[in-house]
Amino acid sequence: MPKKKPLVVVTRKLPDVVETRMRELFETRLNEVDRPFSQADMVEAVKTADVIVPTVTDRIDAAILSQAGPNLKLIANFGNGVDNIDVVTANNRGIAVTNTPGVLTEDTADMTMALILSVPRRLAEGIKVMEQGEWSGWSPTWMLGHRIWGKRLGIIGMGRIGQAVARRAKAFGMSIHYHNRRRLPEQVEEGLEATYWDSLDQMLARMDVVSVHCPHTPATYHLLSGRRLKLMKPGAYIVNTARGEVIDENALIRQLESGALAGAGLDVFEHEPAVNPKLLNSDNVVLLPHMGSATIEGRIDMGEKVIINIKTFMDGHRPPDRVLPSML
């Protein structure tokens, strides 16, 4: 008698090639209309599924997990971060959690570099001028920005993405500095020509551009607090393609409005999808709708990782991308 296929509930629309493969391997319940799951939808899913495939916008907390049925054994997150999942509670209930690390590195680094270039060079302002038909011709003193060649870049979180950003920024002539929980091996530092700062405060005070690449955890919530943002040089820029919660957004807005910071490039927000109107109305901020990892190639790679994690787990083996509480 053939082995029964596991019921896999997918919370959002995924690329067609990924969904087709899932249907071939599993009994799959897809979200054809791509409507975000409500809390009631998620409760129904955890009660009935063997595997749930959520995304970063799905909150699976202790209250949701307390209603999980006996069949739920795996949460295969479609995303690198797992701050949307209560991993500790899941682990205590015998539910494994996996993610999709590594596949978004180059895409997110590309978008980070785009923001590092666009904010000092005032690209968003230039686009707005063109769209509104306000350009009256070239002038030697109009729309002057700042070159990034020779500027100091401070990277907060020197994992895969941070290092990929460092490689790009180095090619643009920037001086690479970083703060990380653990210092990189000497040969990695030499390859990136990167300077390690044990003190985040001291690094912030000396950088021209600061780029955030750490996950959102209780320890990193508002890591860039109002106090720390005030340490940054007047004329400095901040870029965030990681998680909005890492920066105290209200404090950031105050620094931008006062001119204490020259500008910001943000792909993530503290309360997304809500965006503070003061950011929307600011001329010295470039805002993107959380699209740092949005490439076809990246999404398909993520889906393939999800499938491998599910199949490996259901075959009785440890999935390659399992996330344990000790890893957080």
Q: What is the CATH number of the domain that holds 79?
A: 3.40.50.720
Q: Let me know if residue 42 belongs to a domain.
A: yes
Are residues 141 and 251 both part of a single domain?
yes
Q: Mean pLDDT score of the chain, rounded to an integer? A: 95
pLDDT per residue over 65-114, tens digit each? 999 999 999 999 999 889 899 999 999 999 999 999 989 999 999 999 99
Q: The dihedral of CA 132, 136, 142, 145: what is its sign?
A: positive
Q: Is the peptide bond before 54 cis (omega within 30 degrees of 0)?
A: no
Are residues 72 and 144 both part of a single domain?
no
Are residues 109 and 99 both part of a single domain?
no
> Residue 3 pLDDT more than 80?
no
Are residues 63 and 208 both part of a single domain?
no
Strand order from edge to edge, sheet including 74-76: 27-29, 7-10, 51-53, 74-76, 96-98
Are residues 282 and 306 both part of a single domain?
no
Q: Let me know if residue 1 belongs to a domain.
A: no
Are residues 73 and 184 both part of a single domain?
no
pLDDT per residue over 215-232, tens digit each? 888 899 999 999 999 999
Angstrom distance (rounded) from CA 76 to CA 55: 9
Are residues 110 and 99 both part of a single domain?
no
* Active-site amino acid positions: 243, 272, 290
Burial class (CB in 10 A: 0-12, 13-18, 19+), 66: exposed
Residue numbers of the domain that contains 314: 7-103+295-327
7-10 and 152-156 as β-strands: parallel, antiparallel, unpaired? unpaired
Residue 156: which of 204, 105, 106, 108 has the closest Cα?
A: 204
Q: Let me know if residue 127 belongs to a domain.
A: yes
